[in-house]
Each structure stands twice: as structure tokens, then as C-alpha cells.
């Protein structure tokens, strides 16, 4: 088998963005503290993916308990304004209104923020200023993660509006409530943008990795299909030609055995030599397939110098073949792949003549070499080589014809097959451009 003329390396994937190096300790490994934190976060994410409702209930329960404890311990009074007018049951109700809706924070963050907005207005207006009001930043964070910037702006306005209203009514509140709320909002929005950007970047990397993996598998399948095609073509050329020669020799030997035993013996000897040659080539091909290592046995592929022995074998099979050479191929720089293509096309054409031609038949192989092209024309005078068809292809696309055209296409060449103009035989024309031919 031969390599593709346009030798190309393995398809290279686009350069991937370099991954940040992992945190390392003094020994060059991941620091223990970093590894512990990373493992804990991975377990939490895995639990959240498996049971999101349980995780939401746990988070909500934590904040509800914290808000109620802040109310029962009287901690909210330490930050309340001096003119607080909220009764304690109202403070408890506001604490629950700020914490309990968090159960739906991921599915409906904007609705949760809308539910919290009245409690926020009452909280600021009465001067209670319970710390649970800052829990509004949690649905704001989820809105930043999933929604458009317009929705983020609406959520920010909904969060800040009650504070600005009380700031207008009580100017002294600007230094305490308004500034702290605004800074908290800015921090959460920036954090949400950072997390969202990182998440989208990671998803893009994962998708890119999956795409590259799919492309790699597709390239592997295409390479395997191309290799199977090359193997089938080689086996067809090797086995088909030699079996056709053996069949012709056997038919001739059977005829000669009745009239000329000496010629029958010569036919049997030729059959044995051809069979051994076919078996040797087949073993070599199968050996390369079975053993891909460097020790696999390989032999040079046929070149134009092997045309004469090929034609001699066909002559021994009973088909008179005449070789005509126009130009000197040794004076040209013809690559081994092109020489193999010419050899295989001539071999297949003569094999088709042996198998399909009827009546007295002879063949002519004309090889024309120029500085731009290498042409081969194989004609025979037999009949029955194949019917002509009124289409772009002159013959039905059999395995042999397709193999010829595939070989020629590797080097931008063409193969034409069909009957001779006078209807007295068959011809196959191969035209291969040489390497120095301009595109």
C-alpha cells in the first residue's frame, strides 16, 4: 500500500486556552488546605445536582433559623434607629418574609425579590433595620447569574428603591443604611458577573472538548474507511489479477493436455509460479495489517520497471500483449506513487481483458511520458469486455474501474474506459499530471 501523495500529518485541533496552574505547596503538589476546600466544594456541588430540593430546603432553613434567632436574641435592636416604631411581632414577620421565600430563589428569583420588597420598605420605614433584609442580595445574585442585564437593572432598582425612599425622608439615614445597601449591591453584582463569566467560560471549554472529541472520532472513522478502501483496492489488484492469469493458464493447459502434453506441463509450471507469487504478495499484505510495528515485513511497491514482467506473465496466460513506450520515464522525476498507479491500472486493464474478452484477442499497452503528464493507453481487440453506456462514464462503475479512478484521483488524474471508436475492442486511458505541473 502507498501513502497519500499529499502527505498530511494528523489533523491538529485549534490551540486550547492554557489552564491555570493548580495551587502548589512547597513540595510542588496541591496544598493540603486547597485540596480539602476543593474536595468539599465538589461534594457540595455533587449533592446539589443529585438532590436540589433538599439542598434548597437546607439553605432556606439555615437562614430562617438565623433570622428568628436574631429576633429572639434582640440583636436587631443594636442596629435599629432610635425612632424605631415597629412592634416585635412585625419584626418577626419581616424576618420570616426575608428568609422563607429563599426556598424558590433559584427557580423564580425575580418573584422572590418582589415578595421581599414590601417587607424591605416596611423595615426601612419603621426604623427596625433587621439584618435579614440583606438576604435580598441572594435572589439578586441568582438574577445576575441567569438573566439579561435589563432584568439585573430592574432587580437592582427594586432592591435600592426602599432605601432611597427612606433616605429622602430621613437624610441622616444616608450614612448608615443607604451607603451600606448600595455597596452590598455593587459587591453582589460584581461577584455574580465574575461567577457567570467563569461558568460560561468553563461550559465553552467543555463544549469545545466534546466537539474536538467528536471531530477526533470522526477523523478516526474516516481514516479507517479510507484505509479499508486502500486495502480492498490492493487485494483486488493482487488477487484478481493473479487468479485471472491462473484461470487462463488452467483453461489453456486443459486444452493442451489433449494435444500437446509438453505445453500442458509448461502451463502447470506457470500456474504454480503465479500462485506462489500471489500467495507471497497476499502474505506480505496481511502481515503488514496484522503487525503495525517496525518489524513488519515490507517490500517495495511495483514501479514502471515491473511492467515488462507483468506483461510477460500475461503473455504466458495466453494473451498476446505489445508494449509501446514513447519517451523515457527514467529521465523524468516520477514519484513512486504515480508509478504504482500506472502499474495497477495496466494490471487491472489486462486482467479485465483476460476475464471478459471473447474471441481472438490481443492487447497493446502504450505509455507516453512528457514533462507535464504521464499517459497510459491500454487497448484490446476482443469483444465482450463491457457494454458502452450513454453517460458520463463509458462503462458501468465496477470494482476494478472504481479502483482505477480512485488511484488516479489521488494525483488529480483521470481514467476513461469504453469501447474503441470502430467498435472492434476496448480501451482504458489514464492521464496523470506530474508534480511540477502548475495548478
Q: How many residues does the chain have?
A: 439
Cell 471478459 maps to which residue? 356
Position 123 confidence tier, pLDDT thresholds 50, 70, 90: confident
Strands, E assignment, 191-328? 321-326
Strands ordered across the beta sheet of 373-380: 321-326, 363-369, 373-380, 426-433, 414-419
* Residue 267 near residue 252 (C-beta atoms within 8 A): yes
- pLDDT digit string (tens) for 260-303? 776 667 677 777 777 777 777 777 666 656 655 544 445 567 88
Note the pLDDT of residue 201. Answer: 92
Torsion angle, alpha carbons of 352, 355, 358, 362, to 10 = 50
Closest CA to 350 of 380, 383, 308: 380
Instruction: Note the pLDDT of residue 247.
Output: 73
Set out the domains of the chain in order of their start, with CATH numbers. 32-175 (no CATH), 304-439 (3.30.565.10)
Q: For the purposes of burial, counting CB atoms within 10 Å of the CB of 311, is it exposed (0-12), middle (13-18) or buried (19 or more)? A: buried
Q: How far is CA 255 from CA 74, 161, 191, 262, 355, in A?
A: 120, 110, 95, 12, 17
CB half-sphere exposure, 288, CA atoms < 13 A: 15
- pLDDT at residue 190, rounded to an integer: 93
What's the whole-number average pLDDT of the chain? 76
CA distance 195 to 192: 5
Strands (DSSP E) along 226-340, which ranges? Answer: 321-326
Q: What is the pLDDT of residues 298-311, one digit of tens each?
A: 556 788 888 888 88
Distance CA 422, CA 256 (A): 34
DSSP 19: P
Residue 395 has pLDDT above 50, yes or no: no
Mean pLDDT of 143-147: 89
Closest CA to 122 of 67, 72, 163: 163
Instruction: State the DSSP code for 332.
Output: S
C-alpha to C-alpha distances, 314 to 58, 246, 420, nearest whole angstrom: 87, 10, 22
**Residue 416, burial from CB neighbour count under 10 angstroms (0-12, 13-18, 19+):** middle
236 vs 113, residue with greater confidence: 113
Euclidean distance between CA atoms 375 and 355, whole angstroms: 24
Strongest mean pLDDT among 231-240, 346-355, 377-386: 346-355
Map residue 430 onto helix, strand or coil. Answer: strand
Phi–psi pair at 429, nearest 5 degrees: -115, 125
* Global model pTM greater than 0.85: no
pLDDT at 191: 92
- How far apart CA 136 and CA 98 sit, in angstroms, is 7
pLDDT in tens, 166-224: 766 666 656 666 777 788 889 999 999 999 999 899 899 999 999 988 888 888 888 77
Amino acid at each position: 500500500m502507498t501513502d497519500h501523495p499529499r502527505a498530511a500529518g494528523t489533523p491538529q485541533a485549534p490551540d486550547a486556552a492554557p489552564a491555570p496552574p493548580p495551587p502548589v505547596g512547597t513540595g510542588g503538589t496541591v496544598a493540603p488546605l486547597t485540596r480539602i476546600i476543593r474536595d468539599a466544594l465538589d461534594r457540595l456541588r455533587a449533592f446539589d445536582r443529585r438532590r436540589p430540593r433538599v439542598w434548597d430546603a437546607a439553605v432556606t432553613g439555615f437562614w430562617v433559623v438565623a433570622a428568628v434567632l436574631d429576633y429572639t436574641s434582640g440583636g436587631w435592636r443594636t442596629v435599629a434607629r432610635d425612632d424605631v416604631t415597629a412592634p416585635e411581632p412585625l419584626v418577626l414577620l419581616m424576618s420570616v418574609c426575608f428568609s422563607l421565600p429563599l426556598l424558590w430563589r433559584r427557580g423564580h428569583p425575580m418573584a422572590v425579590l418582589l415578595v421581599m420588597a414590601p417587607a424591605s420598605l416596611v423595615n426601612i420605614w419603621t426604623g427596625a433595620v433587621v439584618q435579614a433584609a440583606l438576604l435580598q442580595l441572594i435572589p439578586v445574585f441568582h438574577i445576575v447569574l441567569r438573566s439579561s442585564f435589563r432584568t439585573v437593572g430592574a432587580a437592582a432598582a427594586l432592591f435600592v428603591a426602599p432605601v432611597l425612599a427612606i433616605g429622602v425622608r430621613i437624610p441622616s439615614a444616608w450614612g448608615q443604611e443607604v451607603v451600606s445597601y448600595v455597596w452590598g449591591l455593587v459587591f453582589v453584582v460584581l461577584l455574580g458577573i465574575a461567577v457567570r463569566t467563569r461558568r460560561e467560560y468553563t461550559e465553552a471549554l467543555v463544549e469545545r472538548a466534546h466537539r474536538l472529541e467528536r471531530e477526533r472520532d470522526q477523523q478516526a472513522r474516516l481514516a479507517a474507511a479510507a484505509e479499508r478502501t486502500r486495502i480492498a483496492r490492493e487485494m483486488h489488484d493482487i488477487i484478481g489479477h493473479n487468479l485471472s492469469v491462473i484461470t487462463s493458464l488452467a483453461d489453456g493447459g486443459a486444452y493442451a493436455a489433449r494435444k500437446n502434453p509438453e505445453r500442458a506441463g509448461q502451463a502447470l509450471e506457470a500456474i504454480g509460479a503465479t500462485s506462489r507469487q500471489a500467495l507471497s504478495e497476499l502474505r506480505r499484505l496481511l502481515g503488514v495489517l496484522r503487525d503495525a510495528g517496525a518489524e513488519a515485513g515490507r517490500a517495495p511497491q511495483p514501479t514502471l520497471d515491473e511492467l515488462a514482467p507483468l506483461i510477460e506473465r500475461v503473455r504466458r496466460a495466453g494473451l498476446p500483449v505489445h508494449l509501446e513506450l514513447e519517451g523515457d520515464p527514467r529521465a523524468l522525476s516520477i514519484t513512486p506513487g504515480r508509478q504504482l498507479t500506472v502499474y495497477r491500472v495496466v494490471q487491472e486493464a489486462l486482467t479485465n481483458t483476460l476475464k471478459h474478452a471473447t474471441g481472438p484477442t490481443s492487447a497493446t499497452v502504450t505509455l507516453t511520458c512528457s514533462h507535464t503528464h504521464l499517459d497510459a493507453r491500454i487497448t484490446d481487440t476482443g469483444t465482450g469486455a463491457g457494454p458502452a453506456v450513454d453517460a458520463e462514464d463509458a462503462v458501468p462503475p465496477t470494482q476494478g474501474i472504481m479502483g482505477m479512478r480512485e488511484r488516479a484521483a489521488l494525483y488529480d488524474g483521470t481514467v476513461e474506459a469504453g469501447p474503441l471508436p470502430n467498435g472492434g475492442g476496448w480501451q482504458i486511458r489514464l492521464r496523470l499530471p506530474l508534480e511540477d505541473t502548475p495548478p
